[in-house]
Chains A and B, each alone.
With several copies, the nearest count.
Chain A
C-alpha cells in the first residue's frame, strides 16, 4: 500500500495559486458589477427625478417656454406642458426614415443573401459595414448638405429622417441577410420544386419565414435612431409646435432633452423626457428580445 508519491517540483506554493485564482475571480465579479451598475444608477436617477412630471399633460402638451416654467417654479407648481411636439416629431421622422430605409435595406439584404460570393455583393457588404460605423454627426452634415440646402431649402423633418434612415440602412441590410442565410435551402427548394418562380419564392416563402428576424432587425434599428440627437440638431432643428409638414423644422424627444438640458428652468422636464425616451427604447429592446426568442427561424 504505497503512500502517495507527490511530485517534488511543482507542488509547493499551490495555496498561493489558489488564492491568486480566487482573487482574480473576485476581481472579475467586482468589475462586472461595476460594468453594469451605470444601468441601475441611470434608471433609478431618471425615475426619481422624472416620474413626478409624467402625467397626461406630459404627452399631449407641447414644450413650455422659459417664462411659463419660471412662473410655475415660483409658485411651487410642477412645470406645465409636456413633450407632445417631440413625440410627434420623433414618430414622424422615424416613420419617414423607416419608409425609406426598410425597403432598400430588405431588398439589398435579399440581394446579398442571394449572391453570396459575387464580387459586387462583397463590395456592397463591405460598404454596408463601413456605413454602420459612420458617426451620426457626419450623417447629419451630409443630410444638411443634401437635403436642407438643396431639397427642402430649410431645416426639415425630411432632412432629419434622411440622416436617420442612413443610420438604419446597414442594420436592416445586415439583419435581413443574416436571417435569410439562416433559412435552410430545402425550404427554398421545396417551393421551387412546386414550380414556383424564383421571385415568388423570395417574397412568399423566404420573407414570411424570416419575418421574425426581419422585424427584430427593423425594431433594433428604430431603437437605435430614436435616441439620436446630434444629426437632428443640424437637420431638423427643432420646433416649439406640433408639426406634421415634412418640409418644415420639427422637434424630436432627444432634441427637446437637449433644449431642456440647456435651460435650467426646464430641468424637471429633462428628467421626465429622458425617462420617457429611455423607457421607450428599452421597451423596444425587450420586444425585440421576445420576438427573437419566439419567432426567429431555427
Chain B
C-alpha cells in the first residue's frame, strides 16, 4: 500500500531525524523510516492512533531506548549538526529534556530537591544561593512558585496531579535544555490542570523547542505550530498545523482527523 506522504521541509532545523527505524522485536518495526526536521522555538505535535509509534519516535530522540538492550534503532538523529549518538548520553539528555505521560516526581525528594534533581543526581556541587535561584526561576517558569513557595521542603508527591506535572516540567527546565520532549503530558490531568499546562507550553516555546505527543486533536490544533501524523510506524504527513487540520493531503490523516478511526 503506497500512500502519498506529505512532509514539510524545515529550514535550519534544531533537530533532524534521518531514516529512523525502531524495533522492539526482530523484524517488527514500531517506527519505520521516519525523516523530519524540527523547527526551533516551536511546538511540534505528533498525532496518530494508539500504537502507531509516537512514543517510540519521541523516546528515540533522547536515546531512551538504549536502556533496553533488546530495542534496535536504525538511522540517525542530528542535534544541530552533531550526530546524537556521538554525544555522551548523559550530556544529550540534559540538552533534550523529557516530560512523561504520568507526573513522576521523585517520591523520596522534596519539591525543592525535585526541581534541582538533575544537579543532585549527577553530584554537581552548586552554591546554595545559586540553587535557590534555579529553583525559584524554574518554578516561576511553570507558574507553580506561588502555589508551593511555602512548602518547598515537603514531598513532591503531596501535590495535585496538575501541580506534579508542572513540577516535572520545572525539573526539566532547571537545566535549560534546548528541546523538551513531552509524551501526552496532560492525559492524566483534569481539564483545568490541562489548560494550565497548555498555557505554559505556549509560554515556554519562546525559549525552548517543544515536541509534544498528544492524543487530543483539539489540543494539537490549539497550541502546536507544526503537526506530524503517524500511522503504523510511518510518518504520513507533517506540516503547518493549520493547513494540516484544514486541508490534509494524506487520506489516512483526513480519516483520522474526521474521527473515522483512532
Contact = CB atoms under 8 A, between A and B. Distances in A.
A274 to B, nearest CB: 39
Contacts of A193: 62, 64, 93, 97-98, 172, 181
Contacts of A196: 90, 118, 121-122
Interface string B173-193: 001101001000000000000
B38 to A, nearest CB: 12
A180 to B, nearest CB: 14
B93 A11 contact: no
B160 interface: no
A189 B108 contact: no
A14 B121 CA distance: 12
Contacts of A2: 12, 14, 40, 80
B64 A192 contact: yes
A294 interface: no
Nearest to B13: A1
Contacts of B108: 208-209, 211
Interface in B185-223: none
Interface string A16-29: 01100000000000
A1 B94 contact: no
Looking at chain B, what size class is its interface with the partner chain?
Answer: 35 or more
Contact of A9 (B93, B101, B124): B124
A201 interface: yes
Interface string B84-117: 0000111111110110111010111000000001
A187 interface: yes
Contact of B93 (A13, A186, A194, A297): A194
A194 B167 CA distance: 13
A4 B84 CA distance: 11
Interface in A1-48: 1-7, 9-11, 13-14, 17-18
